[in-house]
């Protein structure tokens, strides 16, 4: 037991591993110490000082989140001294915080508000510092609204942006009373390297960083009888929406979600899964095409490995940070944008609706999708392909506003057309899912047989490890693909941009010889997206992931190319994968951007 440390907390003996903090030790014996700047996904900062405790013999009060335990420590978490100082600190935080709670988007979801309520901060002693500063709200980004007047300088966003995302769009600027979380030259979030991933939004304890919401715009569209409002729902939404509506983490609510959307008044409730399957077709054939050029035609100019392009956070990241690698990114639009382009063309034709009268709304686990929908390239239907993007959280708000009792809803099914899905599409919501879906289809295209994994579950690409590698040796290739026979297909999966950076850097440095890389900007993939319900942590993401694979297992069709609506759209509209029409509507190009 040499590596154990013994201490007492509130007179209770506790033994914990060496290197653990006082906070860890307290949690082990179910003593709750309030925290604010602490977050399980990022490094410890010890900035806010809310978690101070009393250590017998120490001159000052150590912070429990950053102080390692030592033998014989005597800690008190609720002494008079601790309570008064902790209350002071919360009062101080409130004095520099725009406590406009009833009008705040984060009302009810704010960690500072919770603390204030818990400690019954009712006095008004300290001077309100907010009016003394010239705060402006940055609302120019289509994804994220930054309101410094609500910022408590905990630096969670700064750490997230640096540690998880290798972006550092936000960092600390100035000092003393002017210290603030700022961007390069204090430009708008819209004008800097921000990838719009929203991981900061997911972890901001207050309303300083929130998504730009389009709730009223969507209500307005729904209220207009002359408009046909279509919605698409991303795979990761169905495993998280319930959390915001009183459900247990990791519950699949697909049917209830569809029912709720219909109750809100959407004319047609469709599934992004459909275009996820379409992405597999387009991207899969694009990959096979690149492999053919490289391996059969010995064309050394073809860019390999090819990376996925579903994640708009990743796209903006690669444009800024690795602009020399843009050729490696698949030209496929994301499923959301493929959907948008098809709604106002294929769907409009099939349903005989004037595309001018269609408003397309997407429900996404993502804040970057808002930016993506606003890109000038995303108007191939002749209109704005996706009009409004709502996050999972915004949808939950709308469902509550509509007075719908979510729990008691009868499950319903997606409308048609563009509402049919496969297990392959569902797993897009988890890191590794696109890779697995692509392999299920590509293997079968090349060999005519199912992937040689038990029950189609390609487990090597699953999991939460930052970068995962897998390879399969192709055996039994059909004559058309004979150049692939015996080739070891090397794949990698990366999630979180810091891992994406590692994977791409190793390719750029010539250290990796992958053929295909799946990259998702957010930890855990879309299920950990910046638009998902609060809070987020590794356990919550794991439960959502389990739910996604459960959903896959429960689908009757689990391969994209077997989706009947996919077969139909190629017959009726697109011709074949990577056809001219497909390129027109479903593929795009990228733009080199500066880091600063």
Partner 1 sequence: MAEKTLKRVDLIFSEDNYREIIEKTFAKTDDEIINEMIDSGLKGRGGAGFLTGLKWKFARDAKSVNKHVICNADEGEPGTFKDREILDKVAQKVFTGMAIAARVVGAKKGYIYLRGEYRFLVPKLLKELKEFHAIMKAVNFDFEIDIFMGSGAYVCGEETALLESMEGRRGEPRNKPPFPVIEGYLGQPTVVNNVETLASAAMVCKIGSQSYKRLGTKSSRGSKLFSVSGDTPIAGVYELELGMSLQEFVDEFGDGDTKAVQVGGASGFCVPRKKFPTTIIGYQSDLEGDNLPTGGSMMIFNSSRSMYNLLRNYLDFFVEESCGQCTPCRVGTQQLIYGIEAVKRGDKNSSYLDYLLKLTETMKMTAKCGLGQSVANSFSSIVTNFKEEMIY
Give the burial class of 212: count Cβ atoms within 10 A of its Cβ; 0-12 exposed, 13-18 middle, 19 or more buried.
buried
Return the SS3 of 233. strand
Q: Is 95 in the site for partner 1 (CB under 8 A)?
A: yes
CB of residue 73 to partner 1, shortest distance in Å: 12
CB of 79 to partner 1, least distance (A): 12
Structure tokens, 240 = 């998280």
Quick one: tokens of 36? Answer: 């604010």
- Give the footprint of partner 1 on residues 367-386 (CB under 8 A): none
Q: Is 174 in the site for partner 1 (CB under 8 A)?
A: yes
Residues 94, 96, 101, CA angle at the centre, nearest 5°? 50
- Quote the tokens at residue 569: 């759209």
Determine if 61 is a binding residue for partner 1 (CB under 8 A). Answer: yes
The correct pick among 141, 155, 421, 532 for binding partner 1 (CB under 8 A) is: 155
Q: CA 55 to CA 382: how far, in whole Å?
A: 67
Binding mask 524-543 for partner 1 (x = CB under 8 A): --------------------
Which of 251, 226, 207, 163 shows the shortest CA–CA distance to 544?
251
Q: What is the per-residue DSSP string for 251-290?
A: ---HHHHHHHHHHHT-SEEEEHHHHHHHHHHHHHHHHHHH
Helix (H, G, I), strand (E, B) or coil at 26: helix
**Least distance to partner 1 from the beta carbon of 168, Å?**
11
| Closest distance of CB 203 from partner 1, Å | 18
CB-based contact 426:273 (threshold 8 Å): yes
Options 25, 33, 89, 504; binder of partner 1; rule CB under 8 A: 89
- Is the CB of residue 379 less than 8 Å from the CB of residue 253? no
- Contact between 529 and 250 under an 8 Å Cβ cutoff? The reply is no
Using the rule CB under 8 A, is 179 a contact of partner 1? yes
Strand pairing partners for 470?
491
Would you give the binding string for partner 1 spanning residues 450-489, x where CB under 8 A is met?
----------------------------------------
Candidates 172-180, 221-229, 264-272, 434-442; binding stretch for partner 1 (CB under 8 A) = 172-180
Question: Minimum Å distance from CB 66 to partner 1?
Answer: 4
Q: Which CB sits closer to partner 1, 158 or 306?
A: 158
Rank residues 153 and 462 by Cβ distance to partner 1 and give the closer one: 153
592 lies in the site for partner 1, by CB under 8 A: no
Beta strand 54-55 with 74-76 is antiparallel
Cβ-based nearer residue to partner 1, 129 or 215 = 129
Q: Which stretch binds partner 1 (CB under 8 A): 120-128, 319-327, 347-355, 466-474?
A: 120-128
Which residues are designated catalytic?
Answer: 283, 286, 310, 330, 369, 372, 377, 526
CB nearer partner 1, residue 19 or residue 448: 19
Find the part of the chain contacting partner 1 (CB under 8 A) among 57-65, 259-267, 494-502, 550-558: 57-65
- If binding is defined by CB under 8 A, does position 67 make contact with partner 1? yes
- If the CB atoms of residues 154 and 493 are measured against partner 1, the closer one turns out to be 154
**CB crowding 198-211: b at 16 or more within 10 Å, else e:** bbbbbbbbbbbbbb
| Cβ proximity of 146 and 189 under 8 Å | yes
Q: What does the block give as tokens for 94?
A: 């409130």
> Residue 228 is inside which H or E element, if any?
strand 228-233
Reported residue count of the chain is 596
Q: How far apart are the first and last CA of the chain?
A: 52
The whole-angstrom separation of Cα 569 and Cα 378 is 20
Asked if 500 and 291 touch (Cβ cutoff 8 Å), the reply is no
Q: Are 106 and 210 in contact (CB under 8 A)?
A: yes
Single out the residue of 84, 107, 349, 537 in contact with partner 1 (rule: CB under 8 A). Answer: 84
- In this structure, what token pair is assigned to residue 477? 């290739």
Which of 66, 341, 474, 487 is close enough to bind partner 1 by CB under 8 A?
66
Of 100 and 550, nearer to partner 1 (C-beta) is 100
**CB of 126: closest distance to partner 1 in angstroms?**
5
Cβ 408 to partner 1 shortest distance, Å: 44
Instruction: Give me the residue label for tokens 């992004």.
Output: 272
Considering the complex, state which of residue 30 and residue 60 has its C-beta at the smaller distance from partner 1.
60
| Binding residue (CB under 8 A) for partner 1 from 18, 81, 296, 449 | 81
- In the complex with partner 1, which residue's Cβ is closer, 12 or 127? 127
Binds partner 1 (CB under 8 A): choice among 4, 18, 83, 88: 88
**Which stretch, 90-98, 261-269, 458-466, 514-522, contacts partner 1 (CB under 8 A)?**
90-98
Whether the bond between 305 and the residue before it is cis, its omega within 30 degrees of 0, is yes
- Contact between 129 and partner 1 (CB under 8 A)? yes
DSSP SS3 for 472: strand
Residue 9 phi, psi dihedral angles, 5° rounding: -125, 120
| Residues forming beta bridges with residue 471, ordered by sequence position | 490
Cα gap 7→70, rounded to integer Å: 7
Our CB check for partner 1 shows the closer of 55 and 233 to be 55
Taking CB under 8 A as the criterion, the residue among 80, 120, 178, 511 binding partner 1 is 178
Assess 177 for contact with partner 1 (CB under 8 A): yes
- Please state, in angstroms and as integers, the Cα–Cα distance from residue 510 to each residue in 293, 297, 466, 505, following that order: 20, 22, 20, 9
49 binding partner 1? (CB under 8 A):
yes
- C-beta of 96: minimal distance to partner 1 in Å? 5
Q: How far is the CB of 17 from partner 1 (least distance, A)?
A: 16
Q: Tell me: does residue 63 bind partner 1 (CB under 8 A).
A: yes
Which residue(s) pair with 269 in the sheet?
231
Nearer Cβ to partner 1, position 19 or 382?
19
175 binds partner 1 (CB under 8 A): yes
What residues make contact with partner 1 under the rule CB under 8 A?
44-50, 52, 59-61, 63, 66-68, 81, 84-85, 88-89, 92-93, 95-96, 125-127, 129, 132, 152-153, 155, 171-172, 174-179
């Amino acid at each position: 037991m040499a590596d154990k440390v013994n201490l007492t907390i509130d007179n209770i003996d506790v033994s914990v591993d060496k290197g653990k903090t006082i906070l860890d030790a307290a949690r082990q014996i179910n003593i709750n110490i309030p925290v604010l700047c602490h977050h399980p996904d990022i490094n410890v900062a010890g900035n806010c000082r809310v978690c101070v405790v009393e250590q017998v013999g120490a001159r000052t009060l150590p912070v429990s989140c950053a102080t390692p335990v030592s033998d014989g420590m005597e800690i008190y978490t609720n002494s008079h001294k601790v309570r008064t100082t902790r209350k002071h600190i919360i009062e101080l935080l409130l004095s520099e915080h725009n406590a406009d709670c009833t009008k705040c988007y984060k009302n009810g979801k704010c960690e500072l508000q919770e603390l204030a309520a818990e400690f019954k901060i009712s006095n008004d002693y300290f001077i309100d510092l907010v009016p003394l500063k010239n705060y402006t709200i940055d609302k120019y980004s289509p994804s994220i609204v930054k309101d410094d007047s609500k910022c408590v300088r905990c630096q969670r966003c700064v750490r997230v942006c640096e540690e998880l995302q290798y972006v550092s769009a936000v960092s600390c600027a100035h000092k003393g009373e002017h210290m603030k979380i700022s961007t390069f030259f204090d430009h708008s979030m819209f004008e800097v390297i921000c990838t719009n991933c929203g991981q900061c939004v997911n972890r901001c304890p207050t309303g300083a960083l929130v998504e730009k919401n389009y709730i009223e715009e969507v209500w307005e569209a729904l209220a207009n009888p002359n408009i046909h409002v279509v919605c698409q729902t991303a795979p990761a939404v169905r495993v998280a929406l319930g959390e915001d509506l009183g459900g247990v983490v990791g519950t699949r609510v697909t049917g209830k979600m569809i029912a709720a959307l219909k109750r809100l008044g959407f004319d047609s409730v469709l599934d992004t899964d459909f275009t996820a399957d379409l992405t597999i077709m387009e991207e899969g054939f694009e990959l096979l095409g690149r492999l053919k050029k490289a391996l059969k035609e010995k064309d050394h100019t073809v860019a390999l490995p090819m990376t996925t392009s579903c994640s708009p956070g990743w796209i903006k990241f690669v444009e800024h940070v690795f602009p020399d690698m843009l050729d490696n990114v698949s030209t496929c639009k994301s499923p959301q944008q493929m959907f948008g382009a098809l709604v106002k063309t294929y769907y409009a034709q099939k349903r005989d609706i004037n595309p001018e009268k269609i408003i397309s709304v997407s429900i996404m686990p993502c804040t970057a999708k808002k930016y993506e929908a606003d890109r000038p390239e995303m108007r191939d239907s002749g209109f704005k392909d996706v009009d409004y993007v709502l996050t999972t959280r915004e949808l939950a708000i709308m469902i509550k506003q509509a007075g719908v009792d979510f729990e008691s809803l009868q499950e319903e099914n997606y409308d048609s057309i563009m509402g049919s899905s496969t297990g392959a599409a569902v797993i897009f919501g988890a890191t590794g899912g696109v890779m697995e879906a692509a392999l299920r289809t590509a293997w079968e295209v090349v060999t005519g047989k199912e992937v040689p994994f038990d029950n189609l579950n390609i487990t090597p690409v699953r999991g939460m490890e930052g970068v995962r590698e897998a390879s399969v040796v192709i055996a039994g290739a059909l004559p058309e693909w004979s150049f692939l026979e015996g080739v070891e297909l090397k794949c990698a999966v990366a999630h979180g941009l810091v891992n994406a950076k590692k994977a791409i850097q190793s390719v750029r440095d010539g250290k990796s010889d992958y053929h295909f890389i799946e990259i998702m900007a957010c930890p855990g993939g879309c299920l950990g997206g910046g638009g998902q319900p609060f809070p987020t942590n590794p356990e919550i993401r794991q439960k959502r992931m389990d739910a996604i694979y459960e959903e896959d297992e429960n689908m009757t069709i689990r391969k994209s190319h077997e989706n009947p609506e996919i077969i139909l759209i190629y017959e009726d509209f697109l011709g074949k994968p990577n056809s001219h029409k497909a390129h027109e509507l479903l593929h795009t190009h990228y733009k080199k951007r500066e880091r600063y």
